[in-house]
Each structure stands twice: as structure tokens, then as C-alpha cells.
Amino acid sequence: MKSRFSAALGVTSKVKTGVLLTNLGSPEAPTAPALRSYLREFLSDPRVVEIPRIIWLIILHGIILRVRPAKSAKLYQSIWTDNGAPLIEISKKQRDKVATRLQAEYGEDVVVELAMRYGQPSISSALQKLRQQGVENIIVLPLYPQYASPTTGSTFDAISRELTQWRWLPNIHFLSGYHTNKKYIAALANSIIEHVEQHGQPDKFVLSYHGMPEAFRQWGDPYYDKCLETTKLLVAQVNKTINISEECFLSCFQSRFGNAPWLQPYTDEVLEQLPQQGSKHIAILSPAFSADCLETLEELICENKEVFIEAGGKQYHYIAALNERDDHIDAIVDVLQPALNSACK
């Protein structure tokens, strides 16, 4: 039987629940014009830059969008693949694997869509796809393990703006993070354990989370604390298999922008100091990224490696983001499961 929502739209699908996976996004091409469009959307978000609006827009359009697109385009060119932006390619694989798992358990009553907060596929277009399939329930999972206002909060804003245009609203279940999920922590631990088995134990494991202005933390954003909680749980999980001292794990923050203080310690400064402290063999990973992207493939693998080696480091290894690993898909499904079980009764 068609739902009231389906009948109102003239669709015949029996789909009851839609799952929307989201991530940050990428420019459509590694070119200055594409970067200008992407950065304009990204940096115009008041969740991302919280300074007086008029002042910021003058800076953004008068300086940043004139200078930064060309520089950023060169960085994206260094990681671009034949299939496009790595983040988009990996996210599609995640979506497909999650869809396969959920449809095996729930059948055709569940569909999965993918959206990017900035760029394409947009949140608006993905929600419209779910709408056309007549869903009665929508479960939204931003793939940012640790909640932050500029990422998870901004995603909620975009979804809300789209839904203000809908006359009939389905049930919405918004999942705001999963930084303590046991299967997510286990997948991270597995990636570390596998690295040790293949390359030996480094002097330090550097856990590099994405940065955020320190002011956001002072204003109440819980991101910093959630990152440290992830580190604590991860260390405990690793030590269930191999005994590594807590002192071997360091939490730090990358990708700062501008002159204002950001969350510390800064990743590049940590890497610069480690060789002088006797740690010349390190492995670095970023638990904050569910998929490899510019911040990992270029910043961590290239830029920060150069900092470490120039400071006297000898061995620098990057442990990939969880991407479409099966244990990561297990974690994503596990995060979705309670909401799905409720929606699919």
C-alpha cells in the first residue's frame, strides 16, 4: 500500500526509510574556477567562519577568492584521480556497501543516498531523491565521528533549509556523531594493529584531528573533548591486542587557517619537535576523517612528512582513513541500526 506521502507525490514505491550519508564535499574539478565556486560556498557558511558577516564577506570576496583558488587547485591536482576527487569516489563506495548491507537485512524498505555539504551531490538533491521515492522516515548520518558545529551542525542547517520548502515532512532522525561507537573504535584499532604487523612499532603514533578555532571551543563546541575521548578509547582498544604505552600516542590538530589561535597542539609543530625528542619513526593517522581527502592525501602524506623529515625524522608512515574497509562499514551500519530498527518496525 502506498503511504500518504507517496500518494500525494504520485509515486508508487514501497520504500519506507531513506538513509542519507553525508560528508564535506570536493570541488567538481581541480581548477581555479571550480575551487572558487567551492570555496565561496564553503567559506560563506556562518558555521565555518564566525566573525562579523560584513567584515568577513569583504575579506572573502576581496582577498581570499582572488588568491586561494589557484593555490588550492594545484593541491587538488596532486591527488586527483581518473575517477575525480578521492573523497567523492570513496564516499560512493561507502554508500554502495552500506546499501548492500542494509538491503540484505531490511529489503527494499530501505534506500541509501549520498550527499555533500558543499558541492555535488548536494544535500538538497539527495533529499529530493528520497522524497520522490516516497520515504516516510529519513535517517541522516554525517560521516564525522566527532561532532563539531562547522561540520555536523552545518549539515543540520542545510537539511533544515531544504525541508522548509516541503509541505509534508517525513520523520527525521539526525545522528550527530559516533566518536565512542565500539565498532568505529575497533576499526581504528585494527588499522593500527595491521600497520604494526606490517611495518613494526613506531616510536610514536600521531593522531591528527582536523583543527578548529580555539574560540569555538571556548564558546561551547564539544569537538575537542570528543577527539580526546576517541583517543582514550582507541588506546585502550589497541592494548587489548598489543601492549603499547599510552605515552606512544599523541593527539594534535591540523589544517589551521588564519592568525587566530586554533586547537593545540598543532600537528606540524608536533612533527617538527619529535625528532629532537628522540622519536624518529612515527605513524600518523586521522580518526576525524571517515574518508581520505585533501587533508590526508596531501597535507598528511606530503606536507607534514616533509616537516618531519626536515626536522631529522627517519621513518614516516601514514595509516589510511577507514574509507570503505569492511570493519568501517560494520561501524556505520551499527551506528544506523537503532534508528533503522525503530523506523522499520
Binding-site residue ranges? 210, 295
Single out the residue of 160, 158, 141, 145 nearest to residue 19, CA to CA.
141
Residue type at 291? Answer: A
Dist CA 285 CA 210 (whole Å): 11
Distance CA 65, CA 239 (A): 47
Provide the annotated binding site for Fe(2+): 210, 295
What gap in Å lies between CA 123 and CA 335, rounded to an integer? 20
314 CB contacts (<8 Å, ≥6 apart)?
275, 280, 281
